[in-house]
């Protein structure tokens, strides 16, 4: 990856970096990849913000609790299933 301009906080060619950030946040466990992403993020404010926000997004998603299945939904499901089973058994 090319050197980025630190003073402006912008990349001339962020495309490659963004792909790598996607791989990194996507869970690809590769030390070289991690090193490259983190080094680049230190020199590019835009990519650093992207990395930070994507990591937070994934974290928030992982904290999402399992939806509670309402009793009525469960009851309707079982009525449907048992009716179907009963029909096929006849």
Residues near another protein (CB under 8 A) are 22-23, 25-27, 50, 52-54, 56-58, 60-62, 64, 66-67, 69-70, 72-74, 76-78, 80-81, 84-85, 88-89
Please classify residue 41 by burial: count the beta carbons closer than 10 Å to its beta carbon, then call 0-12 exposed, 13-18 middle and 19+ buried.
buried
What is the CB neighbour count within 10 angstroms for residue 11? 20
Nearer to another protein by Cβ, of 18 and 43: the residue is 18
**Residue 65 phi, psi dihedral angles, 5° rounding:** -75, 160
Q: Which is nearer to another protein, 42 or 53 (CB)?
A: 53
Nearer to another protein, 3 or 27 (CB): 27
């Amino acid at each position: 990856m090319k050197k980025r301009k630190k003073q402006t906080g912008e990349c001339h060619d962020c495309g490659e970096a963004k792909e790598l950030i996607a791989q990194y946040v996507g869970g690809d466990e590769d030390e070289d990849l991690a090193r490259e992403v983190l080094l680049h993020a230190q020199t590019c404010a835009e990519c650093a913000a992207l990395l930070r926000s994507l990591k937070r997004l994934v974290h928030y998603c992982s904290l999402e609790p399992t939806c509670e299945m309402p009793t009525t939904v469960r009851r309707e499901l079982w009525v449907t299933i048992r009716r179907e089973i009963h029909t096929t058994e006849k």
